[in-house]
A = this chain, B = another copy of it.
Amino acid sequence: MSKFSVTPWGIVGKIDYVELQEKFGTFPVGSILFRRFARYNKLHPMLRRGIFYSCRDVDTLLDKYDAGNKFLLYTGRGPSGDTHLGHIMPWLFNKWIQDTFKIPMYFQITDDEKFLFKNLTLHDTRKMAYENALDFIAIGFDTKNTKIILNTECVKTLYPIALKVAKKITFSTAKAVFGFENSNNIGQIFYTAMQAAPAFLASEIEEREVPCLIPCGIDQDPHFRAARDVASILGYPKPSMLYCKMLPGLNGMSKMSSSEDNITIYMTDSPNAVSKKIGKAFTGGCVSIKEQRQKGGNPGSCVIFQYNYYMFEYDDSKLEEIARRCKNGDILCGECKAILSEKINIFLDRHMAKREKAKEVIDSMAFGDFKW
């Protein structure tokens, strides 16, 4: 028995990502795929470092791309709270994919999902959707080539596709894939069909097979496993998947989470709040300065190091230098935390400025021209 469980709606226990990959039946991203991606652009650190570590059918997608068949990029967000670093991380990678391949993108905001699964009103989820969309746009996606799909606004386009998907998924399958029980509500049971829809939307609109790449957290695999299973029956190409690990929370546990303020850095956190939160983060340091100077710290179990590794130090040699200095006892946790706090605060400061500008373009990016 695994000591953890992962569904799109919750993670229990500490994730063993190798075991999870086996459980879900996804494939490791390895050197062959590195070499292929390196042909189009300098390899992204999140690939090199095994953060986007697992996949489905990315090789066949790139084969099609090489043969002149551009793909669609699709990722999403469930609006249940303020955006935090754990959301931003995979979006940075999505931007790299869009920049590298110059392709159109759909960003789905699943307000229906969060309404159905959380104690939130549609008014709540709508408000959060708007705020989250600003954060997404601030990452710098191609404003002309990126469309934001808000489920309740775009349902007229999504619903017929969702119906086709839903018709091919029995309750039995949904139960096996998502672990539904008799107490789940009937909206939750249907919902996966709405999340599948954007993957097939371009094929539907263009009336040809438009391949689709979905880079997202591996916790979303149950949705896309179900979607891939029905794709061929419906005459759509199976979406290709690139899955990342989840950015750890400040306590070193599996995932930053909107529902736990203490372990999460929000895009709206003040510099002071960031410094305080980082100050309390779980590190690989020793109990005393003296001991750490003598024995050194352990970057492998350090959240501060993880954040550098995931997002804040893309320069490999600098990252190695941090690890080396930590292990040697040359740098103490306090100093390391101060450096990271500053990096994060610079990042957030720039982000908030871009987020302000996002307000000017958000309407133009609405799929089907809905009004926010």
Contacts and interface: CB of A to CB of B under 8 A. Distances in A.
B116 A166 contact: yes
Nearest to A159: B155
B182 A193 contact: no
A182 B172 CA distance: 5
B159 A185 contact: no
Nearest to A184: B171
Interface in A163-182: 163-164, 166-172, 174-175, 180-182
Given A171-B184, A183-B171, A160 B122 contact: yes
Interface residues of A, number: 35
B185 A166 contact: yes
Interface string A123-154: 00000000000000000000000000000110
A171 B166 contact: no
Contacts of A193: 186-187
Given A156-B156, A189-B189, A190-B186, A171 B180 contact: yes
Interface string A109-122: 00010011000001
Contacts of A184: 170-171
A166 B183 contact: no
A185 B160 contact: no
Nearest to A161: B122
B159 A112 contact: yes
A192 interface: yes
Contacts of A192: 186
A155 B156 CA distance: 6
A164 B185 CA distance: 11
A180 B189 CA distance: 13
Contact of A168 (B112, B155, B167, B185): B185
Given A153-B156, A156-B153, A189 B171 contact: yes
Contacts of A183: 170-172
Q: Counting chain B CB atoms within 10 Å of each CB, which of A153, A155, A170, A171 scores highest?
A: A171
A166 B152 contact: no
A163 B126 CA distance: 14
A187 B171 contact: no
A152 B164 CA distance: 12
Contacts of A169: 185-186
Contacts of A190: 166, 186-187, 189-190
Contacts of A185: 166-171
Contacts of A164: 122
A174 to B, nearest CB: 5
Contacts of A181: 171
Contacts of A186: 166, 169-171, 174, 189-190, 192-193
8 contacts: A112-B159, A116-B163, A155-B159, A169-B185, A169-B186, A170-B182, A171-B183, A171-B185
Interface of A: 112, 115-116, 122, 152-153, 155-156, 159-160, 162-164, 166-172, 174-175, 180-190, 192-193
Given A166-B188, A170-B184, A171-B180, 13 more contacts: A116-B163, A155-B156, A159-B159, A166-B187, A166-B190, A170-B185, A171-B182, A171-B185, A175-B182, A186-B193, A187-B190, A187-B193, A190-B190
Task: Give the top 4 A-B pairs by smallest Cβ distance, nearest first.
Answer: A166-B187, A190-B190, A172-B182, A155-B159
